[in-house]
Amino acid sequence: RSQLVEILNSLKEKPDVGTLLLALQRTLEFEEELAEKFGGGSHTGEPRSDAGDDIVEKGNQTVTEIRKKYEKKLAAHIEEGKNEAYNIKDLSVPDAGFNFRGIISSCFEPYLMVYVELEEKTLMENMEKLVQEESWSIEEGSQTNILSSSMQVFLIIRRSLKRCTALTKNQTLFNLFKVFQRILKSYATKLYARLPKGGTGLVAAATGMDGQIKTSDKDERLICYIVNTAEYCHKTSGELAENVSKILDPQFADRIDMSEVQDEFTAVITKALITLVNGIETKFDAEMVVMTRVPWATLESVGDQSVYVNGINTILAASIPVLGKLLSPIYFQFFLDKV
C-alpha cells in the first residue's frame, strides 16, 4: 500500500482513467483473494461486476490467472518437501474476522476525481443524445404517458451507480451522486424548454407576463406528457437518493439529499399546468370578443342560450376529456380549479 501511495503521490499530471481503474480493479480482486484465503469475510460470494465496463479494456492476464500460476509453483515446492510452511491448507484461516476490503484500495480514493469527471462527461453526452432523439409524443397503445427519455436517463444513471459501487462506496460515490444531481437538473431544464411559449408582444415585455399562449391539441398532449414525466422524475430521483444512502459509507449517507432536484421538477409541473390553463383560456378569446359586442344595455329579453357560451362549451368538451385521461387526478383537479 505504501508503495502505491508513493507512486500516486509522485504523479505530476492527472492519471490516465483507464490505467487507474484497471489498477484499482486488480487491487480489489487481490483484496478479495486475500479474504478468501485468510477468511476475512469481505467477499460476498457474488460475482463482482467489471468496474471498467464501457470505460476501460481488460488486461490479457487476470489476477486469478496469476494466482493459479503461483499456486502450481507452490504445490510443486510442497511436493518436494522443501518447506512444509508453504502448505496452502495451513495458510487458510477460516473466520479470522479481518476485513481486507479497502486495506489497499482505499489509497486510490483521493485520485478518482478523474473517473468522476469521465462519468459526468459520459452521462451528460448520453442525456443530450436522448433528448435530441426524443419524439416528444407517446405511441398509441402505450401503457405509460411518460416520455421515454426520462426512463432512459435513470437507466444510464443506474448503470453509472453500479460501475462506481464496484470500485468504492466512499467519497467517490458521494461525488458521483452530485453528478447525478446535475444531470437531473439539466434534464428538468430540457423539459421546461419544451413547453409552448407566449408573451412575444410589448404588453408581455412590460408586464412580465407570458401573455397569450396559443396551443394546439398536440401541444396540450405534450404539456400533459411533460407533467407526467416531471412527476415520474420527482418520484424516481427520491428513490435514487434513498438507494444511494443505503449503499454509501455512513459518514456520507446523511448528506444525501435530492430536495433541490425535486424542486426543479416541481417547478416544471407548475409551469406546465399554468401553460395548459393559459392555452385553454386563449382559445376562449374569440368567444370573449363576441360576448363584449353584445348590446347588453339595449337587450329586451334573454334567451336560454348564447352563441359565445356554446362556443366555450364546444372548446371545453373537446379538450377536457382528453386532458382528464392524460393527467393524474391531482394535477387534473389543479387544472380545473385554475380554468
Work out the pLDDT band at 56, boundaries 50, 70, 90: very low
User: Within this chain, do residues 88 and 212 fall inside the same structural domain, yes or no?
Assistant: no
Residues 6+ apart with CB under 8 A from 305: none
CB neighbour burial string for 279-318, b if at least 16 within 10 angstroms, e if fewer: bbeebbeebeeebeeeeeeeeeeeeeeeebeebbeebeee
Closest by alpha carbon to 151, among 237, 72, 51, 67?
Answer: 237
Give the pLDDT mean for 5-16: 61
- The grid cell for 66 is 496469476
User: Within this chain, do residues 185 and 321 fall inside the same structural domain, yes or no?
Assistant: yes
Backbone angles phi, psi at 63, to 5 degrees: -60, -35
* End position of a domain, from candidates 107, 129, 158: 107
Q: Which tens digits make up the pLDDT trace of 196-248?
A: 987 544 334 444 445 578 888 899 999 999 999 999 999 999 999 999 999 99
User: Within this chain, do residues 132 and 74 fall inside the same structural domain, yes or no?
Assistant: no
User: Within this chain, do residues 213 and 193 fall inside the same structural domain, yes or no?
Assistant: yes
* End position of a domain, from candidates 61, 81, 107: 107
CATH at residue 227: 1.10.357
User: Within this chain, do residues 311 and 177 fall inside the same structural domain, yes or no?
Assistant: yes
Give the pLDDT mean for 257-268: 97
* Distance of alpha carbon 256 from alpha carbon 112, whole angstroms: 20
Instruction: Calculate the average pLDDT of the chain.
Output: 76
Domain count, the chain: 2
User: Within this chain, do residues 24 and 69 fall inside the same structural domain, yes or no?
Assistant: yes
User: Within this chain, do residues 203 and 296 fall inside the same structural domain, yes or no?
Assistant: yes
User: Within this chain, do residues 75 and 171 fall inside the same structural domain, yes or no?
Assistant: no
Model pTM score = 0.73
User: Within this chain, do residues 72 and 178 fall inside the same structural domain, yes or no?
Assistant: no
Domain extent at residue 59: 2-107
Distances (CA, A) of 116 to 112, 146, 168, 309: 7, 29, 12, 60
Work out the pLDDT band at 282, boundaries 50, 70, 90: confident
Cell 397569450 belongs to residue: 212
